[in-house]
Amino acid sequence: METVAEITPPRTHYLNATYGVKSWLLTTDHKRIALLYLASVTFFFFLGGLFAAGIRIELLTPQGDFVQAETYNRMFTMHGVVMIFLFLIPAIPAVLGNFLVPLMIGARDLAFPRINLLSWYIYTVGALFAVLAILFGGVDTGWTFYTPYSSTYSNGNVILTGLGVFVVGFSSILTGLNFIVTIHTMRAPGLTWFRLPLFIWAHYATSLIMILGTPVIAVTILLLALERLAHVGIFDPALGGDPVLFQHLFWFYSHPAVYIMVLPAMGVISELIANMSRKRIFGYKFVAFASLAIAAFGFLVWGHHMFVSTQSVYAGMVFSFLSYAVAIPSAVKVFNWTATLYKGSISYDTPMLYAFGFIGFFIIGGMTGLFLAALGVDVHVHDTYFVVAHFHYIMVGGTIMGYLGGLHYWWPKITGRLYSEAWARFAALVIFVGFNLTFFPQFLLGYMGMPRRYYAYPPEFQVLNVMSSAGASILGVGYLIPVIYLIWSMRYGPHAPANPWGAAGLEWRTSSPPPTLNFEQVPVVTWEAYEFGDPSENAESRMENRG
Amino acid sequence: MREHIVSPKIYYTIFIALTVLTVVTWSVAKLDLGKMNAVVAMTIAVIKATLVVLYFMHVRYSSRLTWVFVGAGFFWLAIMVALTLSDYMTRGWLTIAQ
Ligand SMILES: [Cu+2]
């Protein structure tokens, strides 16, 4: 980070333009709504983390001694539900996306500011249903709600939790809708599609999944409720239904939902890699189209969750092949990020540490995903800790690393303050170590045959489980440190300049924090994405040369 | 943005068409057409849905981009149905050696 001696912050900006609780709860400023979301998702991240702590404490010993089996089932279910629906899916789009999409395209706000606020309220209402369900004792079905257990036999709060997921889905749809319309209609003059930052391409692709996929999970939950409450036979064989149909419908959304979580993180990483190595992304168009390809192909692979669910062998082969295909655009991104680093002027500030972490974890998570997409291997490791380790490498190692990297990178823009770089690097390191210690042993456990979702296990698995629990406590500390220094920085941190990283991108061409309407004047873009040096000067001198 | 004003006459016409088609669905359901039962019912349903999308949802008067997005919605529905059927229709095709 450049250290600039005296920074005078703008006198009025979006944070101090108006005061009072009402000015926040009724705001239509995308930047303030992003902060509302930031508070909400942070709360649910730590709530979900609490359930994870319970799981890891139980698994310290082979016997089930900390909680009862039934309680354990409820803990891992609520961990999954809270983390996926209330944290991972909204985290990057609703916080960083909300804040940055208008700033990055030179717009004054999103296309539908009031719908944006509505989406936060819908999220809050849905989250309240989920919290109520937890207070009433939670659910024990697993976050996947598989039928007929969920629709007929479970005595947990399936309906209340399902209602929560159903409602939260609409906030996701509205966010996606808002982004798509905004990106189509509100780009600054001169900002053509191929001049857009890759963060925007990633969010556009994510938005497509949100609006095309989320309605399906809503309908599926509705059908589940219909069966549970009115005993209409849809999924339960005893009522004439088909349980595998539930899995088809559920995973039609829930596999692409993984890309709702990881595509925005990839968008963040593209920004970090380009700006912190001061180079235009290698193969910009490939990375941009890879986002769209992942969004589209992501819808064609859901059957890889059902290789051992009586799905036909033929369908299994098709889904297996398509799952391999979706790895191609993901690999394109990884190769292009790496190639961007070549001969770059790389800085090792905190956001870049998270970016490096992301790339490493995503490679491991992605490659083990290919193991799982192989029909034969999957029969062996299906429903074992191998799967648990795999998707945590994608979701925690991918999405959360991207989220934290992005949060650190744009924190000076969001708050107008700088945090302690030393503490931030230390926390990134703690998270890196804690994460690997938590989840790498789980690959080994799964490969040796330890099934997921049991509260007891054979004694020979204990050493690796203790390692995993120890890692989880380190990881927990690693996540708490940023909370402390980031909150500290909001009050005591030095003022941030408009562009502390010397980065390219319109969001850095306005003050930190930005004014309510983002820009004093609507910017006119005459340069390509990631043009370093002073792009406006370059463009001007080029005009002169041409002139 | 350009607003297209649709006359109430069109809305009433579509409403009547939808009502008539509902009655037709109901009457046909009383006849046993064998395999054609589902085909006839689905055909009528698709016609009704198309009318709603084109007129009540104003897609007929909207930009090409709107058509693309509406098309994508139906295309994705087709993906869901087709790949789900790729399981159900092929259950006996390949068997695992015992
Ligand atoms: Cu999947």
What residue spans define the domains of chain A? 31-546
Whether chain A has a CB inside 8 Å of the CB on B71: the answer is no
pLDDT in tens, A24-57: 999 999 999 999 999 999 999 999 999 999 999 9
Q: Which of B62, B77, B87 to mutate to test the interface with A (most CBs of A within 10 A)?
A: B87
Please name the residues in contact with A372: beta carbons below 8 A apart, sequence gap of 6 or more: A304, A378, A381, A382, A386, A387, A390
Instruction: Confirm whether the ipTM is greater than 0.90.
Output: no
Q: Tell me what the mean pLDDT of segment A61-83 comes to.
A: 95
| Domain that includes residue B28, residue range | 8-89
A538 pLDDT above the threshold of 70: no
**Interchain contact B76–A (C-beta under 8 A):** yes
Asked if A248 is an interface residue toward chain B (Cβ–Cβ < 8 A), one would say: yes
Give me A442's structure tokens.
Answer: 């789980």
What residues of chain A, 88 to 117, have a C-beta less than 8 Å from chain B? none
In DSSP terms, A451 is beta-bridged to A384
- Tokens 């969750």 sit on residue: A305
**How sure is the predictor about A5, in pLDDT bands with cuts at 50, 70 and 90?**
low
Confidence of residue B35 (pLDDT cuts 50, 70, 90): confident
pLDDT, tens digit (0-9, with 9 covering 90-100), for A374-400: 999 999 999 999 999 999 999 999 999
Chain B positions touching A255 (Cβ under 8 A) are none
Distances, alpha carbon B13 to alpha carbons A250, B43, B75, in Å = 39, 20, 28
User: Does B1 reside within a domain?
Assistant: no
Residue B96 in any domain: the answer is no
Determine the residue of chain A that is closest to B80 in CA distance: A252
How many beta carbons lie within 10 A of that of residue A131, not counting itself?
A: 17
Whether residues B87 and A184 touch (CB distance < 8 A) is answered with no
B94 within some domain: no
What are the pLDDT digits (tens) for A232-273? 999 999 999 999 999 999 999 999 999 999 999 999 999 999
DSSP code, position A501: T
Beta strands in A79-196 (DSSP E): none
- Provide the mean pLDDT of chain B: 89
Q: A171 is written with which tokens?
A: 């906030």
**A-chain residues near B90 (CB < 8 A):** 312-315
Beta bridge partners of A417: A495
* B79/A300 touch (CB, cutoff 8 Å), yes or no: yes
Q: Residue type at A161?
A: T
Contacts of B92 in chain A (CB under 8 A): 312
CA distance A445 to chain B (A): 28
CB atoms closer than 10 angstroms to residue A226: 15
| pLDDT number for residue A534 | 53
pLDDT tens track for B43-91: 999 999 999 999 999 898 888 999 999 999 999 999 999 999 999 999 8
From the list B65, B79, B87, which residue is nearest A312 (CB)?
B87
CB of A318 within 8 Å of a chain B CB? The answer is: yes
Of the candidates A363, A372, A368, the residue with the CA atom closest to the CA atom of residue A338: A363
- Asked if B91's CB is within 8 angstroms of A312's CB, the reply is yes
Q: Ligand 1 centroid vs B12 CA: distance in angstroms?
A: 46
pLDDT in tens, A390-428: 999 999 999 999 999 999 999 999 999 999 999 999 999
A537 pLDDT tier (thresholds 50, 70, 90):
very low
Residue B53 lies in a domain: yes
CA of A257 to the centre of ligand 1 (A): 9
Counting the structural domains of chain B, the total is 1
Across the A:B interface, residue pairs with CB atoms under 8 Å apart total 51
B87·A299 Cβ contact <8 A: no
| Domain boundaries A31-546, corresponding CATH code | 1.20.210.10
Is B2 domain-assigned?
no
Amino acid (1-letter code) at residue A172: S
Per-residue pLDDT tens over the stretch A416-467: 999 999 999 999 999 999 999 999 999 999 999 999 999 999 999 999 999 9
> In this complex, do B86 and A299 lie within 8 Å of one another by their Cβ atoms?
no
* Those residues with Cβ within 8 angstroms of residue A267's Cβ, 6 or more apart along the chain or in another chain: A92, A198, A199, A200, A201, A202, A203, A206, A291
Q: Which residues of B touch A184 (CB under 8 A)?
A: 65
DSSP state of A417: B
